[in-house]
Chain A
Amino acid sequence: MAPQTASWIILFLPIFMAAGILFFGQRSKFVSSGLAIAGAGIACVLSWMLFIQGADLVVSTNWINLGRLDSPVPFTIPIGLSIDALSRPMLVIVTTIATLVFIYSTGYMAHEEGYCRYFAGLALFLFSMLGIVLANNFVMMFIFWELVGVSSYILIGHYYSRDSAGDAAKQAFIVNRIGDFGFMLGILVFWGVTGTVLFSELPGRLDAFHGASGWLAVACVLVFCGTVGKSAQFPLHVWLPNSMEGPTPVSSLLHAATMVAAGVYLLARIFPILQHSPDALTVIGWIGAITCFGAGLIGLQQNDIKRILAYSTISQLGYMVLGIGSAPVSGVAMFHLFTHASFKCLLFLCSGSVILGMHHEQDIWKMGGLKNKMPITFLMMTIGGLALMGCPGFSGGFSKDLIIEFAYTKGPGWFWLAAGGVFLTALYTTRMLWVTFLGAPRSDHAKEARESPAVMVIPLILLAIPSALAGWPFIQKHFFPIEEPVGVPGWVGFLIPGIFAAGVALAILIYRGAPQKDPVLIPFFANRLYLDDLYAQIVRFVQDGTAKASSWTDRWIIDGVGVNFSAKATWACGFALRFLQIGNIQAYAFFFGAGVIALLYVLISK
């Protein structure tokens, strides 16, 4: 098949499948999941085909075109697909993980309601993400960016009769919109100055900023706001842990290859632009460093197995963003995105297996001793955990070390935050694994847990392979080009495994034996640094307060005094009183008649 056709099929097949599920999926579960898996599977095969062919390609058609008109502002917006060194491996990651998650979902969701809605949502999600990966311009990126937002809204709110799910879905959408506000403004500034939204043309037209690097930095940081929202960077990270209200496979998809990865992918996509603005890169690096450390702190004290993983995702995304800010090529961050996609997907699917085995119990302090009940899940989750912690030899170890070394070259602040993040990751991941799988069962569900069905376990095993191996150079070199940092002293290479080991050791020291509840309590971390509460207060007092005040003004000042009072004052003059008695239409007729008389008067007088 011609690569042009293949790329169109990859993009649009999932949306056709989503529409098909919407129309025909009500009839049978098999049709719903079958269509979704077929869409993802075909897209996956075609993506691998493009990846192996390795040819660059751009196909484009105009979506909006005012260019042929004699317009003062020539304007075209293309829908264009670019297949290049960045999008090819990303396509492979996204479609492969999606296929595995879709298959796994048939097991996980087998007895849940809303099966058809769920698979339609997954297919829409895949479509949106593929659009982001393939987009060759800012506007198309933004379009699919928003669609990712709405897909996540549908999926996070899947259990719609739960209040918490409804709130989480709404929050995810709105917080993402706040990020998108900045993104849109960034696009407007770029377009306003350079007159183009094409990624391929922008780097060549940056001269239009006339050396006013301030504006370039502003534009870059505005676009970065989109990443902050979508990739859950501080301070817009709050939606991500709440998004755990969705079904677990959704979390897996959301956190591994789709939504949150989109933000980092955007940065990689515009990296040729970002390179012209060191100030913007500094901002980006700091946000990443703060996020990777801060989320680690919060992760230490969470008790819900999915929330621990959620904060670990935020923290790892922080590393990726830091990687963009510190490394001279975007491949470094994309390398971590790649390894993270496989091990985080694995971890979430494992947690789903645990949750299903535990009859939808998610509190790790109700688990324990699951090692013998669910041996495969335990083994796979340990592999995923080691990769997450950055254990030497596992995939995450390679990619994370690389980012930390680049952070070192840019200054001690980023380096120590990133290195501290390694310690925290090791600590909370070991805690999670230990409390869940080792020791004695802490509840009846934990005593009766059983291994999950094959359709769920097989994707785990398939994902465990890249989680362990994807970091080794013989695999990595096919995916993303990276560089080695220069000027990093040898001790850094020893320090990071040491920090990792120290974190693991400390966790074992604290959680050995079988404590019934967490022996360490740090309310500041457990309450998520009180940021969620702060935001809730801001919404309540600032937003809703001004809203109420405006509403009051509208009702009592503008409408009350301005309209009703003047109306009454007019009636007081007496001449309008009669209309009240006669009725509305007559009053209206009066105005109309008065108009006609006035008209006749001027017509005659002219």
Chain B
Amino acid sequence: MSLFSPLFFLTMLPLVAALFIMVGARAQFVARWTSLLMLGLTLALVFQYRVAEGGFQFISRFQVADELGISLSFGADGLSLAMLLLAAVITMSAVWVIPPIKSRENLFYACVLLISAGVVGAFSSIDVLFFYAFHEVALIPTFLLIGIWGSGDRQAAAWKATIYLGLGSFVLLIGIIGLYLAIPSERTFDLLRIQELAQAGTLNPPHWVYWTLLIGFGTLISLFPFHSWAPQAYASAPAPAAMLHAGVLKKFGLYGMLRLITPIFPESIGNTRIPLFGFEIRYLDIFLILIVGNLLYIGLVTIAQKRLDWMLGYSSVMHMGYIFLGIAGLNQLSLSGASILMIAHGLSIAALFALCGALRERTGTVEFSELGGLARPMPRLGLLFGFATMAAVGLPGFANFPGELMVFFGAFGATNHVPHGGFDAIQIVTIIAVWGVVISAVYMLRAYRSLFFGTLPERWNGLSDLAPVPRYAVILLIFVLLVIGFHPQLVLSYVTPAILLP
């Protein structure tokens, strides 16, 4: 079979550009045009995709090891395309906000493009092994970016992220292998085949596979309590790395859950009861407790942060709670909401990290106590930060709102106990999640208040406002957030048909 799917070219584009840059091409020029080309190509694919037909399209398969069922295969359905578009938009923005790099500029740009190549490859792979491998490809340059160009205690941050994500991936790999071994009388890593078997009910993977996949993906997404790598890594990562990781790479785990957990494991697995401290609790309840950790506990931790970069890092951990809740809801509505939220969170956190980076570049500090009144010297940065803040708190008009709304409705409607006998566990967690909206308003608005309102310290009088190029790079993110926020059906018409239920 052929290798030549447009998706193959889309994956190769940043990879080849990165190689060119490594061997000495003009880094900024090549990277910027590559990102533009990627966005154009992705948009072309989105429009080429036949929505009415649905399913995976642009499929290509290249046998690597036939007897083992491994092949380098590409294909995309509505959900993959949405994620690819997210990746392209954020790559574009991340490449264009890169400030002048003092040392090893070419390596920096190459790393950024390599992350992009990894995520694009992962989202367009329909072979589970390559899906996994592309993610690994994206992780290595992330560590390099943190370790070489990071701020603060960058070595420690890079080291911790390496160990942590490495272990997480390892657990994930065990899970994937477990899934592979569970396939009866066949050897295949083909996602379509696995999903087909699972939907037909002929695939019954053992319970430990569920847990390794959940914890493996969970670690990569910073599921409580496997989250502590995230704030530190994001705080010291340079802005483009934080944008790409928090914005896109982290969504790999969520995307993986939507591909490998929700369609494959029967709904009954969540209701399996195990004894714990004398109670009989369900698997689902354990997941829900961890979600509460993400929403409530991490939410409170976020409030206590004294620096913008740490706060944003923790806030991105907290917001994963909503998406997990959508996944736990296990219905079309909540999963569609989770998908929209993946995109929305990626765009809004990328915008915030970009602006945080611009701020750090100017002031050298992101301590709340040292900043204030910055809207006066930097009205444009202030305005854009305001937009991103409002997106992050889930204001209607931004994509985050329909996502959260659908997650709340979907999770609340996952069971129907009202008014017969009080709330179900998932409904109680939904209530906590709704309260999470208040928590995120508290920390985001406090941050905005202490950065941009109030009196301007003398020494920040002469700060320059955001330059046009990074400004438009952030405006691009905000623009997409607004488009989806006003018209979520655009995304839903692609994503919802691609969502498979157990």
Cβ of B173 and Cβ of A544 under 8 Å apart? Answer: no
Q: Is B78 an interface residue (CB 8 A)?
A: no
Distance A101 CA – B180 CA, assembled complex (angstroms): 68
Contact: A595 with B170, CB < 8 Å? yes
Decide: B434 and A185 in contact? CB cutoff 8 A: yes
B452 CB within 8 Å of chain A: yes
Tell whether A505 is near chain B: CB-to-CB under 8 Å. no
Residue A150 lies at the interface, judged by CB distance under 8 Å to chain B = yes
B173: chain A residues within 8 A (beta carbon)? 595, 598-599
When C-beta atoms are compared, the residue in chain B nearest to A188 turns out to be: B412
- Contacts A147-B396, A595-B173 hold; do A547 and B412 have CB atoms under 8 A apart? no
Q: What are 23 A-B residue pairs whose CB atoms fall within 8 Å in the complex? A: A64-B488, A65-B489, A69-B496, A146-B401, A147-B396, A161-B373, A161-B375, A166-B449, A169-B449, A170-B453, A174-B438, A174-B442, A185-B434, A188-B408, A192-B416, A543-B300, A550-B297, A550-B298, A550-B304, A554-B298, A559-B228, A585-B144, A587-B166
Q: Which residues of chain A are near B396, meaning CB under 8 Å?
A: 142-144, 146-147
Shortest CB distance B272–A (Å): 21
What residues of chain B lie closer than 8 Å to A603, measured between beta carbons?
A: 68
Chain A nearest CB from B335 CB (Å) reads: 10
CB distance from A194 to the nearest CB of B (A): 10
| B19 contacts partner chain A, Cβ-Cβ < 8 Å | no
Would you call A191 and B413 a contact (CB within 8 A)?
A: yes
B151 CB contacts on chain A under 8 angstroms: none
CA A132 to CA B174, docked complex, whole Å: 52
Q: At the interface, is chain B mostly helix, strand, loop or mixed?
A: helix
Q: Is the CB of A170 within 8 A of B143?
A: no
**Do residues A146 and B177 form an inter-chain contact, with CB atoms below 8 A?**
no
Binding site for B on A (CB under 8 A): 62-66, 69, 71-73, 75, 77, 139, 142-144, 146-147, 150, 153, 157, 160-163, 165-167, 169-170, 173-174, 177-178, 180-181, 184-185, 188-189, 191-193, 209-210, 212, 214-215, 543-544, 546-548, 550-551, 554, 558-559, 562-564, 567, 580, 584-585, 587-588, 591-592, 594-595, 598-599, 602-603, 606
Interface hits, B68-88 → A, CB 8 Å: 68
Closest-CB distance, A385 to chain B (whole angstroms): 34
Given A66-B492, A69-B497, A551-B301, 20 more A-B residue pairs with CB atoms under 8 Å apart are A65-B489, A71-B331, A72-B332, A75-B406, A143-B401, A146-B396, A160-B376, A184-B434, A543-B442, A550-B297, A551-B300, A562-B225, A563-B164, A585-B140, A591-B167, A591-B169, A591-B170, A595-B169, A602-B181, A606-B187
The 5 closest A-B pairs by CB, nearest first: A166-B453, A215-B419, A551-B304, A559-B228, A547-B304
The dominant DSSP class at the A interface is: helix
Report which of B143, B229, B410, B412 forms a contact with A585, defined as CB distance below 8 A: B143
Give the residues in chain B near A160, CB-CB below 8 Å.
373, 375-376, 452-454
Residue of B nearest to A159 (CB): B453
Question: Does chain A have a CB within 8 A of B139?
Answer: yes
Which chain B positions have C-beta within 8 A of A591?
166-167, 169-170
Contact for B139 among A147, A178, A181, A588, CB less than 8 A:
A588
- The distance in angstroms between the C-alpha atoms of A192 and B448, with both chains bound, is 36
Residues of B within 8 A of A188 (CB): 408-409, 412, 430, 434
Which B residues are CB-close (under 8 A) to A595?
Answer: 169-170, 173
For residue A157, which residues in chain B have a CB less than 8 angstroms away from its CB? 453
Instruction: Chain B residues near A139: list those with CB within 8 A.
Output: 405
> Is residue B479 contacting chain A, with contact meaning CB distance below 8 A?
no
The answer on a CB contact under 8 Å between B492 and A584 is no
**Alpha-carbon gap, A433 to B139, bound state (A):** 69
Contact B170 A594 (CB under 8 A): yes
Bound Cα distance A580, B174 (Å): 25
B431-453 near A? 1/0 per residue, CB < 8 Å = 10011011001100110110011
B168, closest chain A residue (CB)? A591
Q: Are A169 and B453 in contact (CB under 8 A)?
A: yes
Which chain A residues border B225 with CB–CB below 8 Å? 558, 562
A-facing residues in B149-201 (Cβ within 8 Å)? 158-160, 162-164, 166-167, 169-170, 173-174, 177, 180-181, 187
Q: Measured between C-beta atoms, what is the minimum distance from A317 to chain B in Å?
A: 22
- Residues of B263-318 at the interface with A, using a CB-CB cut-off of 8 Å, are 297-298, 300-305
Q: Which residues of B contact A210 (CB under 8 A)?
A: 419
- Docked pose: A401 CA to B430 CA in angstroms: 44
B456 touches A161 (CB 8 A): yes
Task: Find chain A residues with CB under 8 A from B395 CB.
Answer: 146-147, 150
- What A residues does B419 contact at CB under 8 A? 193, 209-210, 212, 214-215
User: Is B363 on the interface with A (CB-CB < 8 A)?
Assistant: no
Interface centre among A174, A192, A585 (most CB of B within 10 A): A192
Q: Once the chains bind, are A174 and B441 in contact (CB under 8 Å)?
A: yes
What are the residues of chain B within 8 A of A77 when measuring CB–CB?
405
Indicate if the CB atoms of B418 and A584 lie closer than 8 Å. no
Q: Does B203 contact A (CB under 8 A)?
A: no
Q: How far is the CB of B237 from chain A (nearest CB, A)?
A: 14
B106 beta carbon closer than 8 Å to chain A:
no
- Taking CB atoms, residues of chain B closer than 8 Å to A548 are 304
User: Is B140 a contact of A588 with CB atoms below 8 Å?
Assistant: yes
**Distance (whole angstroms) from the CB of B284 to the closest CB of chain A:** 17
Known: A163-B453, A585-B144, A599-B177. A66 touches B336 (CB 8 A): yes
Residues of chain B within 8 A (CB-CB) of A69 are 332, 496-497
Chain B residues, Cβ within 8 Å of A554: 228, 297-298, 301
Whether B406 and A544, one on each chain, are in contact in the complex, defined by CB atoms closer than 8 angstroms, is no
A133–B474 Cα distance when bound, in Å, is 34
Least CB distance from B451 to A in Å reads 10
**Distance A188 CA – B430 CA, assembled complex (angstroms):** 10
User: B448-502: which have CB < 8 Å to A?
Assistant: 448-449, 452-456, 488-489, 492, 496-497, 501
Residue of B68, B166, B430 with most chain A CB atoms under a 10 A cut-off? B166
Given A64-B489, A192-B412, A603-B68, A163 contacting B301 (CB threshold 8 A):
no
Name the residue of chain B whose CB is nearest to the CB of A163.
Answer: B454
